[in-house]
Structures are given as structure tokens and as C-alpha cells.
Structure 1
Amino acid sequence: MLSASIAIQNNIVFVWLWSGFLMILNASSEPLVVNIANKGGDVLQETFDANVTDDTIKLSFKQFDGTSINHLIDFPTAMQGFHLLLPPTTNKGQMNKQEFCFIVPLGSEEYISSDAISKLRQKNPHTVRRPEEELPPQSFYMQATFSSVSVSHAFPLCRRTLVQTFFLIPEESLAARNTTLPTKFEGIPACDIALGLSGQPCVCSYNLCIVWYPCGLKFCQTTQPNGEIVSYRCGIKTCKKCRQFLFVAQNRLDCPPEFYV
């Protein structure tokens, strides 16, 4: 029994996937807007914009606290960037918006390709979706210094003047010391307990969850009249993944309350 159906209209090939998505095989890219439900049943909207020429994907959404998230996947550099725009919190003394960027390596099979994303459409755009699988969370120890201009160039939102940009501390430097904790983090308190130490460094942390994204393609097989077995795309696998970004703030006031460990 087939899990997908194929139709041709005006020279455009449509493939209806069993997961409720439409894959347009030879049409130009349009942003994919998806309604997502979290564990509590609250619904947010994610927008996927694929650039096949640059081989990038941008995922944008706004969290319930008003924080705007832009997640850029850059396949040529095998890197991914997370841009956060925090709204002012006047009741906590922060009058201006704050921007942060976290740039970390891209896993070899974390996302489906920009080409595959560009061809996805929904059979019912009003459907509220939930991930099929929740992946293990990851923690990243970050630092503000990095030498690769090419990597930062791939993330234009992270090059703006007022953005605080952080890069992953190389794993080999941790392995050489047989530890998972970078030297600059040792003995430093978390910012939420450093209330009386406003002039001293503290560990700032931010937990970010991508509630739903296409993390893989599903393939089915069919047998042709001549007996040949043919594989074809028949669905997408969807995942949720949470990440924790940790960095040392020089002062507790440099760590937004949303970033307290």
C-alpha cells in the first residue's frame, strides 16, 4: 500500500506525503509556516525559509515571553546560529532590547536539506503539529572570542553592532584537560545566586527549545510493473530539541534574568 500519491498539474509535480505535507518537486521556494503545540498545549507559529542557492535554512518564531528567535542553518560551513532578541523588561530595570547570538557546529544529520525544506507544503495549513521524537538535550560552553571571519559572515544578524555573539569553546581543549568544564567556568557561581556579587563574573545560561522541525526524511518502496523496486520520499520525521548555552558574564547585570541558570 502506497504512503504517498503523485499528481501533475501545469507541469508541476506534486507528491502528497502521508504526514500531511505536500512536496512540490519542481517549484520555487516559499516560506513554510507551521502551527506548533508545546507540551502544555500552547500554540506557536514557526516559519521555515529555505535558500537553495546559498544552501541555508532560517527558522523564525516568537516565544510566549516575547523573545524573537532566528535559527540559521548554514550547510556550507557546517555551522548553525541562534539569534535571540529579548524584549525590554522594565519591571526588572532593563529598558532596552537585548540581542544575543550563539554559533555552534551543525551535526551531520540534524536537519533535512535546504532543497527538501524548500519543497514542503502543508495539506492543511491550519493543522497544529507535535514532534514525533524528543531528542536528548545538549549543553554548550560558549566564549565571546573566535577567529573565523567566514563563520561569522554566514550569520548577518550576529554581525550587528549591539549583538553579543558567542562561539563554542573547542572540545579538543577540554579533552586535553580530561574535563567537560572549561577553565574559565571553574569556581564561578551561577548568576542567579550571585546577588551580592554584582561586580564579579558569574555563569549565565539560556535554555532554548526548538519545539518542532523536520529532522529527517522517510522513504517508502514500490514495485514497478517490470518488477523493479523503486524508493521514493513518503514523509518527514519531526523532532524536538533543547539546547543550553552557558557563558561567563563579567557582571551579574550583564546577564538577563531570563538567562539565569
Structure 2
Amino acid sequence: MMLGQLIVNVKNKGGDVERENIESNTTADTVKLEYLSKDGTLVTYFTDFKTRLQIFRVVVPWEEERGIVQNTPQVLCFITRFAKNEFISSDAMSKLRQKNPTAVRTPEEDKGLEEYMLNHVVNVDKFAMLSHHLNNICHDAVDSTYMKDTDLAQVLKQDMQKIRSEMKIPEVQQLSRCKDTSEIMKSCLCQYQLCIGWYPCGLKYCRGKDSAGKVVSYRCGIKTCKRCILFEHPAKQKMYCLWDDL
């Protein structure tokens, strides 16, 4: 087993510096990136290369000034599939070495805003087979873990219409946006946006000549990117999507 760890400082949209902790595990074939935002939200970005699933978990503090007081923060999990060559491998990540940990990093490429409509509420216990890590990461998001029905059907190798009927997936087209809903206890369509300010997104290759003078290609570094993601999902009540008003 090979473990790797990087600590990276990166500026967010507001100009504040956030510290990302990136861990790779070659045996589990996973990479975990985690950071704490200025408003106290803990963001975890977990990539499972064996199942080609990425899990985003956000732990959001309750806003007491909004009149809702809770002892525990709100936890959301978003699960999506990813393309085979979208990230560098956990093995390549584990070989990265820390250089100047106090420096503020700037990504080479901004991938812009990605949008996902996640219309299915995943029962974490029932669908633990999606990833061996799902229970560990999303155990506090029992009724707030979301996934697209087509992704779920593809992973489980089942018919999408059967998935929709058996799981009673809500028709999100019939829901109003939470920001347009006045009733705090009414279900609505919620949007949540997060950004990963810096992550290794690919390998760099250079061209040179070997001892015989033949032109060869060799790995000479990593490419880094920034990505922002907008998740749209059904909220059982507007009170679980208060940020949508902002």
C-alpha cells in the first residue's frame, strides 16, 4: 500500500485562502480532498477509481440568525459518475511530493461551472454496494444523499424505468425552486454550489530524444485545474435549503 498526502493553499472566489488536504490510497484506489471554508462549511471530495464514482460531502452549519436552531450541522452528499481519464490515478497522486507548503497555488486551467441534476434520494444503507466507502462518508446524510437516476441504473446495471418506479423518484419538474417557495415546510428544488480551487487533473508529457536520437515522449509533471459544480436536487423542506435565498 502506498499513501500520499499534500497540503495546498489556494484562494477562493472571495479572495480568502483555503487549505486543501489531499490524500491518496493506492490499495483502495481512492483520492480524498478536503477543506474548511471561511463560513465553517466542511467540503470533502472523494474519488473512488474502482467504481468510477465521485462523492461530494458538505457539512453545513445551521444559520441560527435565520430562526432555526439545531445541535448538529446539516450534511449533504452528492454522487456522480466520472469519465475514465478525467483525473490522474491514485498511484500518480501518491507519488507527488510536497514543495513549499506555505505557497498559494494557482490552477493552470479553470474548467468553469458544471451542472448536475440529481433527482434520486439514495438510501445509504440500501445502496452501500455502490461504493465500499459510501457508508463511511455519507452515514450522517441518511435522507440527504443524492444521485442521478440514470447513473444509479448504470452502476446497478438495471433498467432505468424500473429504478424510477421502485424507488419512487420524485418528478423534480413539478417542484418549485426553494428560493421561490414561501412555505418553510414545503418540498422544493434546491441548488447547492461548491468549488474545488486546485486539484491535479492530468499528466503532462514532454518530448525529447533518447540516447539513439529517437524522439520519445515522457512524463514531466502534472496539470492542475479548478472546477465549480452546481448540484440541483429535491429538498424535502425549504428549511433544508436556506442558502437558496441568498
With structure 1 as the length reference, what TM-score do the two structures score? 0.78
- Per the alignment, in what secondary structure is the counterpart of residue 123 of structure 1? coil
1:103, CA displacement in angstroms?
0.7
Q: Per the alignment, do residues 260 and 157 of structure 1 end up closer, same or farther by CA in structure 2, a change over 3 Å counting?
A: farther
Report whether the alignment pairs 1:110 with 2:95. no
- Opposite residue 43 of structure 1, the aligned amino acid is V
Shift of the 183–87 alpha-carbon distance from structure 1 to 2, 3 Å rule, reads closer
Report the AA paired with residue 105 of structure 1: R
Indicate the residue corresponding to 2:165 in structure 1.
none
* Residues 61-117 of structure 1: CA deviation (Å, up to 9, x unaligned): 011211001111000001000111112322121323111111110222221110111
TM-superposed deviation, 1:163? 6.3
The structure with the largest helix share of the pair is 2
Report deviation, 1:28.
4.7
Alignment equivalent of 1:158, drawn from 114, 138, 147: 138
Call closer, same or farther: CA 1:121–1:163 in 2, change over 3 Å: farther
The residue that corresponds to 1:71 in the other structure is 45
How many matched pairs? 226
Q: Residues 152 and 167 of structure 1: is their aligned pair in 2 closer, same or farther, counting only changes over 3 Å?
A: farther
- Structure having the higher Rg: 1
> Which of the numbers 173, 180, 199 marks the counterpart of 1:193?
180
Aligned 1:1-261 pairs, distance under 5 A: 28-92=2-66, 93-95=68-70, 96-142=72-118, 143-145=120-122, 148-155=127-134, 156-160=136-140, 162=142, 164-170=144-150, 184-195=171-182, 197-253=183-239, 255-260=240-245
Structure 1 stretch 113-122 or stretch 85-94: which is displaced more? 85-94
Residue 39 of structure 1, CA deviation: 4.2
What is the rounded CA distance, in whole Å, between the counterparts of 1:208 and 1:136 in structure 2? 12
Distance 2:45 2:28 in 1: 15
Structure 1 unaligned regions, length at least 5:
1-26, 175-181
The question of whether the paired residues in 2 share the 8 Å contact of 1:109 and 1:215 is answered with: no
Distance 1:257 1:198, change over 3 A: closer
| 1:221 CA displacement | 2.4
SS at match of 1:91: helix
In the superposition, the TM-score normalised over structure 2's length comes to 0.82
Q: 1:240 to 1:229 in 2, by over 3 A?
A: same
Amino acid in structure 1 at the alignment position of 2:221: G
Task: Point out where structure 2 has 5 or more consecutive residues left out of the alignment.
Answer: 154-159, 162-168
Q: Distance in 1 between matches of 2:99 and 2:170?
A: 51
Across the aligned residues of Structure 1 and Structure 2, the Cα RMSD in angstroms comes to: 2.5
- The residue identity in structure 2 corresponding to 1:131 is P
- 1:170 is paired with a residue of what secondary structure? helix
Measured after TM superposition, the shift of residue 226 of structure 1 is 2.1
